[in-house]
Structure 1
Amino acid sequence: KGELVGFDVEMAHRLARELGVTLEFVPFELDTMVEQLNGDHFDVIMAGIAMLTQKLKEVSFSDPYMDVTFALVVKDSRRKEFANIEEIKRTGGRGLTFGVRGAYEYFAAKAAENLPLAKVVLIKSYRDFFENNNDDVDALVTGAEVGAAWTLLYPGYDVVVPKPVPMVVPLGYAVAHGDTEMAEFLTHWIDLKKKDKTIEKLYNYWILGQGAAENKVRWSIIRDVFHWVE
């Protein structure tokens, strides 16, 4: 139907509904995000923005509403190649190309730091990676929670959280630099949505995939990505 859907979209609808205001979605680019936000093009970014050092200097954030885990999205047939980061590090990443979207530059920087012989390239969009990747990019660097949602649409790919130690970063809602009143309001609202289980319910549905499939074992990030349960 061409409608925007997802965890953050649903959160935005709920915020607008509870405030009694009209909701308008405004497109933005990651490389102009700061200018657009501080230029009053919109009030808040509710789109999974990682709370990284540089961003903390440029915009104001609510407290985190979710943590994302470093992950790689790869073709099913290549899952085992990327299962252990220590084994990849032994080669320095020689011959590997990692794709990244701007929101996950922190993860990309860590990948480049640990795999100096690997190549890191920016990709236009997640959809471009899945639909136009002719094996030019070996793995997509992203958050496990985001990657998991995309693999529901493209089941020929899998999410790998390389062992042994998962790396996580927090996500927050961004507002214009210095707008502490709005940032504090969002922090309190997030706390309320955690306590009334709204975030948990939306996370279970949109991220864990509960309710995404019928008449079969439900897809789960806990089982299918982290492999913590059978």
Structure 2
Amino acid sequence: MFKKQCIAMVLGFIGISSAWAEQGQTLRIGIEGEYPPFSAVNEQGELYGFDVEIAKALCVQMQKDCTLVQISWDAMIPSLKTNKIDAIVASMSATDERRQSVDFTDKYYSSYGKLVLKDSLAGQINSDNWQEKLQSITLGVQRATIHDRFASEKLKNIVGEIRQYNTQDEVNLDLISGRIDATLADTIALITGFLETDMGKGYAFAEPVFDDPAYYGEGVSIVIRKNEEALKQAFNQAIQEIRANGVYQTINDKYFNVDIY
């Protein structure tokens, strides 16, 4: 488990000429820090991961002073809405439910959910029989995520029990200890944060893919407050520019074997 602590990392870059930058304030970006390989905290108390490097790269591209602030997942949107931070770069999917209270930029990567179980069980579950096979299992999900909402609304009458956890690391630990039978989470995070680690040996994906747009949205995006169009467009432009200039691909290839955009 990574050390849990709040830290701030300041990136020093000059400001750009837009309404939101001319105010002279540092852009405060919320990062979870408990969702490897997207964000985690090392033994030195430093944030690292795909989300962290993307946030830094976007700040460089926008030539904007930025501070990365570690915040727990369920406090992300409340912190944004109460002006404690100005944006969220934390693998958050742009869903219709969330759009009711916050706004989203264009996506910076794609996401969908899958189930992980012991490999002997995973191999028995396919797209035709999954509802029958899941009837007696205990499923673990990270609280307040799209996977939690999907499971709570679509799987509650199918699985035996749903247990909610504060972090995906906690879910994974209970999975290998036998306290739960399966987890539903982001496919990329499960590959790199669990299945490709020593902890994940003997576990595998079941076949079904969960990507209902009503729950999984239109991709993973940066979250901002409503009515901040200048900031939104600045982020959108920066996302496209780091895609075009190779910076995005360099970061992508450091963590993943495929382009996750």
Distance 1:186 1:196, change over 3 A: same
Q: What SS class does the counterpart of residue 60 from structure 2 fall into?
A: helix
The answer to whether structure 1 residue 68 and structure 2 residue 117 are counterparts is no
* Residue 167 of structure 1, aligned match among 211, 217, 227: 211
Alignment partners' CA distance in 2, 1:201 and 1:159: 28
Find the residue that maps to 1:12 and give its secondary structure: helix
Determine the structure 1 residue equivalent to 2:241.
192
Q: Aligned partners of 1:162, 1:155: CA distance in 2, in Å? A: 17
Partner of 1:53: 96
List alignment gaps of at least 5 residues for structure 2. Answer: 1-42
Q: CA deviation at 1:122?
A: 1.0
- Report the Cα offset of residue 121 of structure 1: 1.9
Larger relative helix fraction? 1
Q: Following the alignment from structure 1 to structure 2, what is the Cα–Cα distance between the partners of residues 166 and 196?
A: 32
Q: Could you tell me how far apart the structure 2 residues matched to 1:16 and 1:66 are?
A: 17
| 1:111 to partner: Cα distance | 7.4
State the SS of the aligned residue for 1:41: coil
Residue among 118, 121, 124 paired with 1:81 = 124
Deviation at 1:107, TM superposition (A): 6.5
Q: CA RMSD in A?
A: 2.7
Moved more, 107-116 or 166-175: 107-116
Deviates more, 1:59-68 or 1:97-106: 97-106
Counterpart amino acid of residue 120 in structure 1: I
Q: Which residue of 2 aligns with 1:146?
A: 189
Aligned length: 208
Aligned to 1:12: 55
More strand by share: 2
- Residue 67 of structure 1 deviates from its aligned partner by 1.1
Name the CA distance, whole Å, in 1 between partners of 2:201 and 2:230: 45
Larger CA deviation: 153-162 vs 106-115: 106-115
SS of the aligned residue for 1:9 comes to helix
1:100 to 137, 141, 144: 141
Aligned partner of residue 68 in structure 1, secondary structure: coil
Cα distance in 2 for residues equivalent to 1:196 and 1:65: 15
* Counterpart residue type for residue 234 of structure 2: F
Shift of 1:97: 1.6
Q: Normalising to structure 2: TM-score of the pair?
A: 0.69
Matched to 1:183, the amino acid is K
Contact 2:143 2:166 in 1 (8 A): no
Q: 1:167 is aligned with what amino acid?
A: D
- When structure 1 is superposed on structure 2, of 4-13 and 20-29 the one drifting more is 20-29
Please say if residues 72 and 142 of structure 1, whose CA atoms lie closer than 8 Å, have aligned partners that are also in contact: yes
Identity across the alignment (%): 17
